[in-house]
Chains A and B, each alone.
Chain A
Amino acid sequence: MPPPALDSAPAATPGRTPQVRPRTGSTRRDPLVLLAIAVVLLALRMAFGIQEARQGAAEASRGAPVERVHWRALEAGLAEARTTGKPLLYDFTADWCPPCRLMQREIFADPGAAAELDRRFVPVRILDRMREEGRNAAWVDSLQTRFHVNSFPTLVIVRPDGGTPVRIEGYLGRDFTLGRIEDARVRVRTQAILPPAGLGR
């Protein structure tokens, strides 16, 4: 009986199974399923990107929520502030500004916070378009210069009849910002109650 060849597979023995099964297949198999999913998602990404761009919803592509604050146009806001005596809350913002979007999501889209802001202030939004269009409307530049707005977001709280505006630069979280807005409201209200410095001398 000739000896079995060394490279031949072991003969199957009835009643015994081999303890170690040789690995089959390559360790370099390409992840075809994952690649297919990636390609499908990439196609969907492009489709949704084009769709959202066509809708003109730049905010939607960044996940901007529906805001609950009722922003007034500048002239209407000034008139309303003079009538009601409520301080103006200017929101200096820009579309490209991530902290502005975070603030919109966490404060201006929050029903409770938005209702409080609407009740206590006359909110006016000033949108900077310098990056997108290369220039701003003259009245936007004028307001930014007047309130020394150098970064976004900047909130400015000011009495309708003037006084010293209170500026809140940047966004450091919902509660912190709401606290500072309330502080600012108290400060501008106090300006209205207290006589200007030097008047009582």
Chain B
Amino acid sequence: MNLAIILATLRQRFTSPMRLVFLVVLGSTSMLPILLSPGSGFALLGDCYFMVLTLAAGMIGQDVSSGTIQLALARPVTRAQYVFSKWLAVTAGTWFVVVLQAVAAALLMAARGAPVPWSGAALFLANNALVALGAAAVMALLSALVPGLGDLGLLFLTFLSAQVLAGIGSSRSWGALVRAAEELQRFLKPQLEIGPIVHGDPVSWFAVISYFSTVTLCLALAIVVMNRRELSYASSGA
């Protein structure tokens, strides 16, 4: 990984007014249930999936379409390092927002006289760290495939396809198709609940391996795609 790329990505993401507006809207709407029912704990905040999408959209594709990637790769940086750095930057940025969200929720609970469930807060942060790592890896792959913000469109289309497949499978009672659609959705939104592991409940090894399989596969494919991408250093205006 490359610290300069990580910092540059964080600066780029957190100085984008549109992304900041989305983050504020997502963060503040997630606070409403806490405001209405402060004793309900951190589970009401939901997960940070849409925050990841907000920060990850165009994480590589925008660099490609704006020509920034040529400058980044002019440094002694491998493309694998570039992809890893982008992935870690988005994950770290999202987790930073999640921590702010948790602090705000805890303050809100305390202000409303409700006890703050600290173990719930730790679980919330850990679960969201995994959501951020997983979703950022998927977005890294999609962003390596298409320029600009096309990764969001690709994600939406794939989700839509999975829903259509699930619908067809359900209506025709084709279990294999329903299962394929579930797997597609699991791939697009990798999740791993830490709660059962912490509480000593039986752990689904399939769920654990699915999560890590998706993350490694997405990162590996993103690097392979980037390695095969030809970048032009010529200026079109010259």
- A interface residues with partner B (beta carbon < 8 Å): 23, 26-31, 34-35, 37-38, 41-42, 44-45, 48-49, 51-53, 60-66, 102, 105-106, 109, 131-134, 172-176, 179
Return chain B residues, CB-CB under 8 Å to A172. 33, 37, 40, 44
How many B residues touch A, CB cutoff 8 Å?
42
Return chain B residues, CB-CB under 8 Å to A51. 206
- Among B206, B223, B228, chain A packs the most CB atoms within 10 A around the CB of B206
Give the Cβ gap from B51 to chain A, nearest Cβ, in Å: 19
Query: Do A63 and B207 touch across chains, with their CB atoms under 8 A apart?
Result: yes
A44-B209 contact in complex given A23-B76, A172-B37, C-beta closer than 8 Å: yes
A174-B80 contact in complex given A66-B201, A131-B170, C-beta closer than 8 Å: no
A132-B170 contact in complex given A35-B220, A176-B39, C-beta closer than 8 Å: yes
A34-B202 contact in complex given A29-B78, A131-B170, A172-B40, C-beta closer than 8 Å: no
A66 to B196, CA, bound (A): 10
Of A26, A30, A109, A132, the residue contacting B224 (CB under 8 A) is A30
Least CB separation from A43: chain B residue: B213
Give the Cβ gap from B145 to chain A, nearest Cβ, in Å: 17
Query: Do B41 and A174 touch across chains, with their CB atoms under 8 A apart?
Result: yes
A29 to B219, CA, bound (A): 14
Chain B 187-207, CB within 8 Å of chain A: the 1/0 string? 000000101100101111111
Of B193, B207, B209, the residue contacting A105 (CB under 8 A) is B193
Query: Do A41 and B217 touch across chains, with their CB atoms under 8 A apart?
Result: yes
Give the Cβ gap from B101 to chain A, nearest Cβ, in Å: 15
Selected A-B contacts with CB under 8 Å, 19 pairs: A26-B78, A28-B227, A30-B227, A31-B220, A31-B224, A41-B212, A41-B213, A41-B216, A42-B217, A45-B209, A61-B207, A63-B193, A63-B196, A65-B202, A105-B201, A109-B199, A172-B33, A174-B40, A174-B41
Return chain A residues, CB-CB under 8 Å to B39. 175-176, 179
Query: Do A38 and B213 touch across chains, with their CB atoms under 8 A apart?
Result: yes
A27-B73 contact in complex given A35-B224, A38-B216, A172-B40, C-beta closer than 8 Å: yes
Of B44, B78, B173, B203, the residue contacting A28 (CB under 8 A) is B78
Query: Do A34 and B219 touch across chains, with their CB atoms under 8 A apart?
Result: yes
Main secondary structure of the interface of A (DSSP, over half): helix
Query: Do B206 and A61 touch across chains, with their CB atoms under 8 A apart?
Result: yes
Q: Does B160 contact A (CB under 8 A)?
A: no
Least CB separation from B114: chain A residue: A175
Give the Cβ gap from A113 to chain B, nearest Cβ, in Å: 12
A143 to B76, CA, bound (A): 68
Return chain B residues, CB-CB under 8 Å to A27. 73, 76-79
Query: Do A106 and B213 touch across chains, with their CB atoms under 8 A apart?
Result: no
Return chain A residues, CB-CB under 8 Å to B206. 45, 48-49, 51-52, 60-61
**Residues in B47-82 with C-beta less than 8 Å from chain A:** 73, 76-80
Return chain B residues, CB-CB under 8 Å to A53. 179
Return chain B residues, CB-CB under 8 Å to A29. 78, 80, 227
Query: Do B43 and A61 touch across chains, with their CB atoms under 8 A apart?
Result: no
**Residues in B152-202 with C-beta less than 8 Å from chain A:** 170-171, 173, 179, 183, 193, 195-196, 199, 201-202
Query: Do A173 and B41 touch across chains, with their CB atoms under 8 A apart?
Result: yes
Query: Do A176 and B201 touch across chains, with their CB atoms under 8 A apart?
Result: no
Return chain B residues, CB-CB under 8 Å to A41. 209, 212-213, 216-217
Q: Does B210 contact A (CB under 8 A)?
A: yes
Query: Do A65 and B209 touch across chains, with their CB atoms under 8 A apart?
Result: no
Chain B 218-237, CB within 8 Å of chain A: the 1/0 string? 01110110011000000000
